[in-house]
Amino acid sequence: MKKTTIHEIAKALGIDSSTVSRALNDSERVKPRTKKRVLEKAQELGYTRNMLASNLRRNKSNTIGVIVPRISRYFFSSTIAGIEETAYKAGYSVIICQSREDVNRERKIISNLMANRVDGILMSVTMETKDSSHLTECFEKGMPLVFFDRHVEGMNQTGKVVIDDVKGGFEATEHLIKQGCRKIAHFTAPLDVEIYKNRHKGYCMALEKYSIHYDKNLVYISTLLKEDGYFLAEKIVNECDGVDGIFSANDFAAIGAMNFLKSIGKKIPEEIAIAGFSNEPTSAVIEPSLTTVDQSGTEIGRLACNLLLDYFKNGNTLVNNKTIMIQPKLIVRDSSQKKSNFKEMRLNIGFK
Amino acid sequence: MKKTTIHEIAKALGIDSSTVSRALNDSERVKPRTKKRVLEKAQELGYTRNMLASNLRRNKSNTIGVIVPRISRYFFSSTIAGIEETAYKAGYSVIICQSREDVNRERKIISNLMANRVDGILMSVTMETKDSSHLTECFEKGMPLVFFDRHVEGMNQTGKVVIDDVKGGFEATEHLIKQGCRKIAHFTAPLDVEIYKNRHKGYCMALEKYSIHYDKNLVYISTLLKEDGYFLAEKIVNECDGVDGIFSANDFAAIGAMNFLKSIGKKIPEEIAIAGFSNEPTSAVIEPSLTTVDQSGTEIGRLACNLLLDYFKNGNTLVNNKTIMIQPKLIVRDSSQKKSNFKEMRLNIGFK
DNA sequence: GAAAATAATACAATCGATTGTATTACATAT
DNA sequence: ATATGTAATACAATCGATTGTATTATTTTC
């Protein structure tokens, strides 16, 4: 099944293929009447421009590469949705790849995207990405790179869209303190990942503000899966007396912890108050509903994509070291409100 | 920032670019020693193959286009994850597009993917896709197409991966009946969408088996959003007495309904039992946990992608009209069990 | 009506890799 | 040493579109 080319259109009309090309691109170098004839013939022959050829010639693929740890995470899939929407409007396609938290895979993906000559890359790094040689290679080779959410410290040659994790962590922790918690555990992931480092920092700042002693034994590092939360909660209950609050750096671990606590009949929030991070859809649905920090994935995706598109238009200046920081929003729900508040409860049952 | 080409490698080594190309492709027409020299020089010059050029020449893009209504739906994002994983292993990239339930957008996306010369398309159609001229055009132009989940009736020229929706609908409804429900409402979407038609069919079959009168006033057609479920439940309570069960064709509407019913103090499942469809993550977390029908998105994605990959390898025979039907699995949880069963509850709280 | 200016189109190179065919180099056989 | 065969590489066309330059039509100007 061979496709029609501009040459066949040209031959059919007895004109040159360059004229056909210009006509199809609506160049003012072609007489309106000729344009019309070309367009009609193209239609008639079922012509579809071969973007491979076009891209090769123009040295531009009109494609953006996106790398996330896992597509099926709600936060990331909504980020992707925001990216796709923005890219689509601007006439770009998006190639989606998942690193699955594996740096080697991340490395391969990047070289693959480079080979495919994507115009730019949007990415959220894996938890293991410390050595960033494959990333520095990107802009050494002139490939624009914008981080969103998970980024790498010290990589200032690119743009970033991040949320103010310090503030998010601070507010969640402060809220727990204000609700009366005095011994607050913190679930987090390896602290060399910027976002977890910052959420942890916010946690520390809140403790300090209220003169609560920072106890490093209360900080649990894991991969923050639901299972991790479940077993860490079990550990806390068995080994660590008097914990009256948990701030988890993501919702999954928080939900896992809630599952365990509910299974042994601990009262949430009366005995242990809980706050998560990310506002996953399940957080609104679980009972008690989970207090969390909202970070709009769709919005982050849009902003990151726009940052890249700006770069395409206006060159280096805009992206270079530009950081867009989104303000997180604490969403207070039932898992943390020791003094229950009927009105607020009603509101927070509602639709997300 | 210009990239190195095979010609520069060739010049540097004083050999021809065709030899370089063959060396890079590990052809046996090149002496091992020359190969080694080429590879080293390529490394030294930081060469990355330009896939645009390669693809143009080979008339193959090693790319698969994927179209889903919405990326951020868990079912679809997990499908995409399965597709990406399978494609990646086989050396393919995936371009992801969302139709947003808009046929016109779907149409544009398809022509865009064709222009980009993707090797094949995997898609789940919009709810509005009835006229399928843009789809028939696909294989008229020789573009392999495989449907997953939402497909179009009568399009037998392509492959499909679907779940047995009739069976799923039947089992969910039968389960409700066995729990004692006698007046079961059904939430669904326009019945010209195959999957909803089939779930509805399963619903009818179950009613018939147990000699329950089919009442068309109990079948509510909407877009099946959470909001739809909420308002439909309200409608039922206000206008339609004696409904003791709801089978919703997706989990969102079921959850919306539960929210309403809980807000007015209706007991689930005692007064109204509920079953959904899809096994969204929230369905396991909501209280009472939602009985639903599982359709593994990841698995569907893998199968659909493999079907396409088979086609690439073995030609037309395999895809043509090949339908892979996945068996759905009824997951019984608390929202439907009138006689509560402690063991089963424990199991179903567990990790998804 | 001829010269000048401009519009419209044709020519030809190019993007970077691939691949069928031709040529050269080298080894083996006679 | 010459013929024969094969291994290794070079040549050249090609994929389909784009684009700078050259050429031909057409219009404008005097």
Distance B46 CA to C25 C1' (A): 32
Closest-CA residue of chain A to B62: A116
- Give the model's confidence band at A340: pLDDT under 50 very low, under 70 low, under 90 confident, else very high: low
Q: A294-330: per-residue pLDDT in tens?
A: 999 999 999 999 999 998 988 766 666 789 999 999 9
Average pLDDT score over residue span B210-214: 96
**In a domain? residue A56:** no
Decide if pLDDT at A130 tops 80: no
- From CA B225, how far away is CA A286, in angstroms rounded? 19
| Cα of A225 vs its chain's centroid, Å | 17
* B125 Cα to chain A: minimum distance (Å): 17
Same domain, B291 and B197: yes
Q: Which of A307, A185, A198 is nearest to A246 (CA)?
A: A185
**In a domain? residue B17:** yes
Q: What is the pLDDT of residue B318?
A: 61
Average pLDDT, chain B: 91
Which of A:254-273 have CB within 8 Å of B?
255-256, 259, 263
Average pLDDT, chain A: 91
- Contact, A163 vs A194, CB < 8 A? no
**In a domain? residue A1:** no
Distances (CA, A) of B316 to B87, B169, B321, B322: 19, 33, 10, 10
- From CA B99, how far away is CA B227, in angstroms rounded? 21
Q: What is the pLDDT of residue A318?
A: 61
Same domain, B278 and B253: yes
Decide if pLDDT at A349 tops 50: no
In one-letter notation, the amino acid at residue A175 is: H
Same domain, B255 and B288: yes
Q: Nucleic chain D: which protein residues 34-93 of B have CB below 7 A from it? A: 34, 53, 56-57, 59
Same domain, A239 and A309: no
Q: Which helix (H) or strand (E) holds A216?
A: none
**In a domain? residue A69:** yes
Same domain, B270 and B340: yes
Q: A105-119: per-residue pLDDT in tens?
A: 999 999 999 999 999
Q: A222-255: per-residue pLDDT in tens?
A: 999 999 999 999 999 999 889 999 999 999 999 9
Q: What is the pLDDT of residue B348?
A: 44
Q: What is the CATH number of the domain that holds B23?
A: 1.10.260.40
B-interface mutation test, from A47, A61, A96, most B Cβ less than 10 A away: A96
Same domain, A238 and A206: yes
Find residues whose C-beta atom lies within 7 angstroms of strand C. Answer: A 14-19, 22, 29-31, 33-34, 53, 56-57, 59; B 2-3, 5-7, 17-18, 21-22, 24-25, 47, 49-50, 53-54, 56-58
Q: A153-164: per-residue pLDDT in tens?
A: 878 778 899 999
Same domain, B171 and B159: no
- From CA B96, how far away is CA A72, in angstroms rounded? 13
- Beta strands at A184-188 and A159-163: parallel, antiparallel or unpaired: unpaired
What number of other Cβ atoms are within 10 A of residue B113's Cβ? 25
- Contact, A157 vs A321, CB < 8 A? yes
Of residues A315 and A51, more confidently modeled:
A51
Q: Nucleic chain D: which protein residues 1-40 of B have CB below 7 A from it? A: 14-19, 22, 29-31, 33-34
Same domain, A169 and A158: no
In chain B, % of residues over pLDDT 90: 81
> According to DSSP H, which parts of chain B are helical?
6-13, 17-24, 32-45, 51-58, 74-89, 103-115, 133-140, 165-178, 194-209, 226-239, 251-263, 281-285, 297-314, 316-319, 342-349
Q: B288-340: per-residue pLDDT in tens?
A: 999 999 999 999 999 999 999 998 988 766 666 789 999 999 999 999 998 65
Q: What is the pLDDT of residue B340?
A: 52
Same domain, B114 and B30: no
Q: Which of A62, A68, A22 is nearest to A42 (CA)?
A: A22
Same domain, A258 and A156: no
Q: B236-259: per-residue pLDDT in tens?
A: 999 988 999 999 999 999 999 999
- From CA B230, how far away is CA B42, in angstroms rounded? 62
| Strand ranges (E), chain A | 63-68, 93-98, 120-123, 145-148, 159-163, 184-188, 219-221, 245-248, 273-275, 292-294, 323-326, 329-331
Q: B151-204: per-residue pLDDT in tens?
A: 888 787 788 999 999 999 999 999 999 999 999 999 999 998 899 999 999 999
Distance A18 CA to D21 C1' (A): 13
- Is there a contact between A74 and B77 if contact means CB atoms under 8 Å apart? yes
Q: Which helix (H) or strand (E) holds B186?
A: strand B184-188
**In a domain? residue A105:** yes
Helix axes B32-45 and B6-13, enclosed angle (nearest 10): 120
What number of other Cβ atoms are within 10 A of residue A103's Cβ? 17
Structural domain that includes position A40:
6-49
**In a domain? residue B55:** no
Helix axes B74-89 and A74-89, enclosed angle (nearest 10): 80
Nucleotide nearest to A117 (CA to C1'): C16
Q: Which of B61, B132, B59 is nearest to B92 (CA)?
A: B61
- Is there a contact between B349 and A263 if contact means CB atoms under 8 Å apart? yes
Strand partners, B331: B292
| Residue A246, helix vs strand vs coil | strand
**Residue nearest C18 (alpha carbon to C1'):** B57
- Contact, B303 vs B162, CB < 8 A? no
Number of domains in chain B: 3
How is B73-132 classified by DSSP, letter by letter? SHHHHHHHHHHHHHHHHTT-EEEEEE-TT-HHHHHHHHHHHHHTT-SEEEE---TT----
- From CA B325, how far away is CA B195, in angstroms rounded? 12
Q: A54-87: per-residue pLDDT in tens?
A: 999 999 999 999 999 999 889 999 999 999 999 9
Chain length of chain B: 352
Q: What is the pLDDT of residue B349?
A: 43
- From CA A223, how far away is CA A50, in angstroms rounded? 45
Q: What is the pLDDT of residue A344?
A: 43
Average pLDDT score over residue span B59-83: 94
Decide if pLDDT at B345 tops 60: no
In one-letter notation, the amino acid at residue A38 is: V
- Give the model's confidence band at B1: pLDDT under 50 very low, under 70 low, under 90 confident, else very high: low
In chain B, % of residues over pLDDT 70: 94
Q: Which helix (H) or strand (E) holds B267?
A: none
- From CA B67, how far away is CA B129, in angstroms rounded? 13
- From CA B184, how far away is CA B202, in angstroms rounded? 13
Q: How many CA atoms lie within 13 A of A348 on its CB side?
A: 26
Distance between first and last Cα of chain B: 48
Give, in degrees to the nearest 5, the angle at Cα B244 between B243 and B247. Answer: 90
**In a domain? residue A157:** yes
Q: To which residue do tokens 């050494």 refer?
A: A140
**Which residues from chain A sit within 8 angstroms of residue B111, using beta carbons?**
48
Average pLDDT score over residue span A183-191: 96
Q: What is the pLDDT of residue B317?
A: 63
Same domain, A321 and A274: no
Distance between first and last Cα of chain A: 48
Same domain, A150 and A234: no
Least confident among A124-128, B257-261, B276-280: A124-128
- From CA A194, how far away is CA A185, in angstroms rounded? 20
**In a domain? residue B235:** yes
Q: What is the CATH number of the domain that holds B132?
A: 3.40.50.2300
